[in-house]
Structure 1
Amino acid sequence: MSANNAAIRMSTASTAGLLMASAQAPLGSTLIAVALPSISLGISADLVLITSLLVTGYLVVNVICLGPAGKISDVVGHSRILWTGIGLYLIGAAFGVLAQGVSFLFLSRCLMAVAGALVVPATLALLRLHVPPGRRGRIFGLFGATMAIAAACGPVLGGEIVSLFGWRAVFVANVPFLAVSALLLHRYPLPAENTATQRPLRKLTRSLDFMGIGLLALSLTLLIVASKLEGAMFMAVVLAAAIAGVAFVKWEAKTPAPVFDPHLFSLPPFAAGTFIIALQNFAMYGLLFQLPQFFSVFRVTEPRDIGYMLFVMMIGMVFAAPLGGQLTDRIGARSAALLGSVLLLSGVGQLWGIDSFESPQGAMPALLMSGLGLGLCNAPAQSASMSAAEPGQAGMAAGVSSTMRYLGGILSILVLGMVLGDDQIVSVARHTVMIQLFTIAIGLSALMSLWLPGASVATAKSP
Structure 2
Amino acid sequence: MVTVTQDEEVRRDPRRWWALGALVASMLVLGFDMTILNVALPTMARDLGASTGQQQWMADAYVVVFASLMLPAGLLGDRFGRRRMLITGLTVFLAGSLVGALVDDVTPVILARAVMGVGGALVMPLAMAVLPSLFGPDERTKAVGAVSAASALGLPLGPITGGWLLDHFWWGSVFLINVPMAAIGITACVFLLPETRDPASPKVDAVSTALTAAGLGILIYAIIEAPDRGWGDPLILGLFAASAVLIALLVVRERRSARPMLDLSLLAQRGFLLNTLAATLVMFVLSGLMFVLPQYLQAVLGHDAFATGVRMLPMMGGLLVAARGAAPVVARFGARAVISSGLVVLAFAALLGSRTSVHDGYGFTALWLSIAGVGFGFAVVPAMDAALGALPRDRAGSGSGLLMTVRQVGSAIGIALLGSLLASAYSGRLDTSALPHAAARAASDSVVGAHVVAERLGDRVLAVSANAAYIHGMGSVLLVSGIAALLAAVLLPNPKAAGTLAEENPGMVSARENARQ
Q: CA deviation at 1:443?
A: 0.4
Q: CA deviation at 1:179?
A: 4.4
User: CA distance change for structure 1 residues 238 and 55 in 2, over 3 Å: closer, same or farther?
Assistant: same
Q: C-alpha offsets along residues 338-392 of structure 1, whole Å, 9 cap, x if unaligned?
A: 4254134224324435465544422433432331232244444445656758779
Aligned partner of 1:439 among 482, 485, 498: 485
Counterpart CA distance in 2 for 1:389 and 1:83 is 33
Tell me how large the CA RMSD over aligned residues is: 4.7
Counterpart CA distance in 1 for 2:45 and 2:293 is 27
User: CA distance change for structure 1 residues 435 and 399 in 2, over 3 Å: closer, same or farther?
Assistant: closer
Counterpart CA distance in 1 for 2:294 and 2:69 is 30
Aligned partner of 1:197 among 193, 197, 200: 200
The SS at the match of 1:23 is helix
1:460 equivalenced with 2:506 (yes/no):
yes
CA contact (8 A) 1:137 1:327 kept: no
User: CA distance change for structure 1 residues 243 and 293 in 2, over 3 Å: closer, same or farther?
Assistant: farther
Q: CA deviation at 1:224?
A: 1.3
The equivalent residue for 2:36 is 31
Amino acid corresponding to residue 434 of structure 1 in structure 2:
V
Aligned partner of 1:68 among 60, 69, 72: 72
Larger Rg: 2
Q: CA deviation at 1:185?
A: 5.3
User: CA distance change for structure 1 residues 208 and 151 in 2, over 3 Å: closer, same or farther?
Assistant: same
Tell me the matched-pair count. 443
Counterpart CA distance in 2 for 1:264 and 1:129 is 28
Q: C-alpha offsets along residues 195-228 of structure 1, whole Å, 9 cap, x if unaligned?
A: 4536xxxxx9xx6422222221122112211232
The SS at the match of 1:232 is coil
Larger mean Cα displacement after TM superposition, 130-139 or 246-255: 130-139
Amino acid corresponding to residue 349 of structure 1 in structure 2:
F
CA contact (8 A) 1:145 1:322 kept: no
Q: C-alpha offsets along residues 52-106 of structure 1, whole Å, 9 cap, x if unaligned?
A: 7754433433332223223333433434322221222233344455658778656
The equivalent residue for 1:283 is 285
Amino acid corresponding to residue 342 of structure 2 in structure 1:
L
Q: CA deviation at 1:281?
A: 0.9
The equivalent residue for 2:213 is 217
Q: CA deviation at 1:253?
A: 0.7
User: CA distance change for structure 1 residues 136 and 440 in 2, over 3 Å: closer, same or farther?
Assistant: farther
The equivalent residue for 1:316 is 318
The equivalent residue for 1:410 is 412
The equivalent residue for 1:178 is 182
The SS at the match of 1:451 is coil
Q: CA deviation at 1:416?
A: 3.5
Counterpart CA distance in 1 for 2:118 and 2:265 is 26
Tell me, which stretches of 5 or more residues in structure 1 are unaligned? 199-203
User: CA distance change for structure 1 residues 412 and 161 in 2, over 3 Å: closer, same or farther?
Assistant: closer
The equivalent residue for 2:253 is 251
Structure ranking higher on relative contact order (CA contacts 8 Å, 6+ apart): 1
Q: CA deviation at 1:400?
A: 2.6
CA contact (8 A) 1:82 1:122 kept: yes
User: CA distance change for structure 1 residues 50 and 259 in 2, over 3 Å: closer, same or farther?
Assistant: same
Counterpart CA distance in 2 for 1:439 and 1:287 is 13
The equivalent residue for 2:118 is 114
Counterpart CA distance in 1 for 2:222 and 2:212 is 15
Amino acid corresponding to residue 259 of structure 1 in structure 2:
M
Counterpart CA distance in 2 for 1:126 and 1:314 is 29
Counterpart CA distance in 1 for 2:266 and 2:354 is 43
Aligned partner of 1:151 among 155, 167, 180: 155
Tell me, which stretches of 5 or more residues in structure 2 are unaligned? 1-5, 430-468, 511-517
The SS at the match of 2:232 is helix
CA contact (8 A) 1:286 1:416 kept: yes
Counterpart CA distance in 2 for 1:379 and 1:100 is 39
Larger mean Cα displacement after TM superposition, 421-430 or 25-34: 421-430
CA contact (8 A) 2:77 2:126 kept: yes
- Percent identity, aligned pairs only, is 23
The SS at the match of 2:261 is coil
User: CA distance change for structure 1 residues 439 and 375 in 2, over 3 Å: closer, same or farther?
Assistant: closer
Counterpart CA distance in 2 for 1:193 and 1:428 is 48
The SS at the match of 2:363 is helix
The equivalent residue for 1:21 is 26
Counterpart CA distance in 2 for 1:331 and 1:252 is 36
Amino acid corresponding to residue 331 of structure 1 in structure 2:
A
The equivalent residue for 1:201 is none
Q: Equivalences for 1:336-355 in 2 at 5 Å?
A: 338-354=337-353
Counterpart CA distance in 1 for 2:111 and 2:94 is 13
Counterpart CA distance in 1 for 2:353 and 2:99 is 45
Counterpart CA distance in 2 for 1:337 and 1:72 is 36
Q: CA deviation at 1:315?
A: 1.4
Q: CA deviation at 1:413?
A: 4.3
Q: C-alpha offsets along residues 20-45 of structure 1, whole Å, 9 cap, x if unaligned?
A: 31232342354345666877999xx6
Counterpart CA distance in 1 for 2:37 and 2:477 is 29
CA contact (8 A) 2:335 2:386 kept: no
Counterpart CA distance in 2 for 1:61 and 1:209 is 16
